[in-house]
Amino acid sequence: MSHGLPSQPAESFKARRRALASRLGSERAALVFSGVARPRNYPDNIYPFRPDSHFLYLTGAWIERAAILVDGDKDVLFMPPADPGDLIWHGPTPGWAEFKAGCGVDEIRDIAELEGYVRERGANTLATLPACDAVTRYGQGSMLGRSWAAPGTGVDLDAADGALADAMIGLRLIHDASALEMLRGAAAATVEAHLAGMAATRPGLRESDVRAAMERPILARDMSTAYGSIVTVHGEILHSHSYDHRVEDGDLLLADVGADNGGWAGDVTRTWPANGKFSPTQRTMYELVLASQEAAIAMLRPGVRYRDVHLAAGRVIAQGLVDEGILRGDVDNLMERGAQGLFFVHGLGHVIGLDVHDMEDLGDRAGYAPGRTRASQFGLCFLRLDRDLEAGMAVTIEPGFYQIPALLAEGSELTAPFDADGTLDRAALAKFADVRGIRIEDDVLITAEGSEVLTAAAPKQPEAVEALVGTAAGASA
């Protein structure tokens, strides 16, 4: 889809724009760009276009080369006029009148007029956010007199743009009814992918076979994936994006796959035994990670600090490792030293919404409450979210256990202190050689009373998982 009307009522976008204007105050108008498609190898062969998330939030419109101006109580959508050639190559597409009604804006103007409009009005009366695609970002920077670095090299916003960023964060953190409807759609497709993946798995396939089985139901719903799928028997490779290992009898398969529903993300991880039966050691560790995840979810409610939930989940892991004899010592002391971070190396989760790591285009500004910053301790330093929870937020809860060779190698900087004083019992750990990586992840909505797991229909109790694995007729492609 490169030219699509909003799939939700105009009123919901109008309400968001009024709320934005009210947060932003009357001093400046907001100008948010949709961006352009990115070429894959030449200009006409593009990656599937996806509008900027802030633009999508405010308009619902799936269009390139557009910008929404929110100016007090007036909304103007700048976009290209219809190209007569489109009728030949792209068929009938909605026109300006339909976008005006569909997005509920007061006026549509030709995007070609934007530069003149900005010059006349004065760039300093506008607040904007840096587009993530380089073409828009460079053009936007020159039009508005911003001196941003290239995409991917950090975001340094001036006061005006920072105020817009904070206003967008304030809105987008708390999901409205339309947002929730989209998130539920993404969750349903994501669950279906995991059911298909478990059913399709059997030893002898390649990881790519399982990935293909998981992405098929997402594509069949006319959705895309929300991020690069991870489907691997090497769950300890946290950002594994290759799919060429053979799935062997005795392997655990870790799948982190989510659907994108009209721009809204699902994000679920499940880990299952390739042959349909956890080994005793796999089951022990699986149940430990599951206990950690369930303990974390049970804590979720408004007012709770997410960092405390992360630490509580880590404590369950630490206690479990002590119980198995892998770590020795007092759990409080182990936690203080970050010993559980040797195995549960990443953060417990992140906010989720239009972006799978919602608003990560703004760095930690969205994930970290004002005044809070990243910790320096290994493990905790990777936590993407440190806010007090509020009803309407959606977060992922995704503890894990990994044996990462580079981290755990004898003599490594990280393990040395724990080896030196006997905290780490490598003989006890060696018994778990068939557990390379486990992660269990759900998307959870914070409610007034506590929380609701949006992706609860993806099985995670060990018996339920075992019962599903390998049940598809032709488990291969």
Residues between 186 and 245 with contacts to a copy of itself, criterion CB under 8 A: 196, 206, 208-209, 211-213, 215-222, 227-228, 234, 236-244
Q: Site residues for a copy of itself, window 329-348 (CB under 8 A)? A: 345
Nearer to a copy of itself, 114 or 304 (CB): 114
Nearer to a copy of itself, 130 or 459 (CB): 130
Nearer to a copy of itself, 82 or 391 (CB): 82
Count of residues interacting with a copy of itself (CB under 8 A): 76
Question: CB 168 → a copy of itself: shortest distance, Å?
Answer: 13
Give the contact letters, 447-476, x = binds to a copy of itself (CB under 8 A), - = no.
--------------------------xx-x
Nearer to a copy of itself, 117 or 243 (CB): 243
Rounded distance between C-alpha atoms, residue 454 and residue 183, angstroms? 8
Rounded distance between C-alpha atoms, residue 226 and residue 186, angstroms? 9
Residue from the set 31, 52, 327, 415 that interacts with a copy of itself by CB under 8 A:
52
Q: Site residues for a copy of itself, window 73-92 (CB under 8 A)? A: 87-92
Beta bridge partners of 424: 327
Neighbours of 90 (CB within 10 A): 11
Nearer to a copy of itself, 150 or 448 (CB): 150
Question: CB 164 → a copy of itself: shortest distance, Å?
Answer: 16
In sequence order, which ranges of 238-374 are alpha helices (DSSP H)? 280-299, 306-323, 331-337, 364-367
Q: Site residues for a copy of itself, window 358-397 (CB under 8 A)? A: 359-361
Q: Does residue number 50 form part of the binding site for a copy of itself (CB under 8 A)?
A: yes
| CA distances, 11 to each of 7, 118, 162, 177, 439 (Å) | 12, 27, 27, 12, 39
Nearer to a copy of itself, 87 or 416 (CB): 87
Q: Site residues for a copy of itself, window 116-175 (CB under 8 A)? A: 132-135, 138-139, 150-152
Residue from the set 27, 45, 420, 422 that interacts with a copy of itself by CB under 8 A:
45
Residue from the set 27, 42, 303, 371 that interacts with a copy of itself by CB under 8 A:
42
| CA distances, 277 to each of 206, 431, 470 (Å) | 19, 18, 11
Nearer to a copy of itself, 43 or 122 (CB): 43
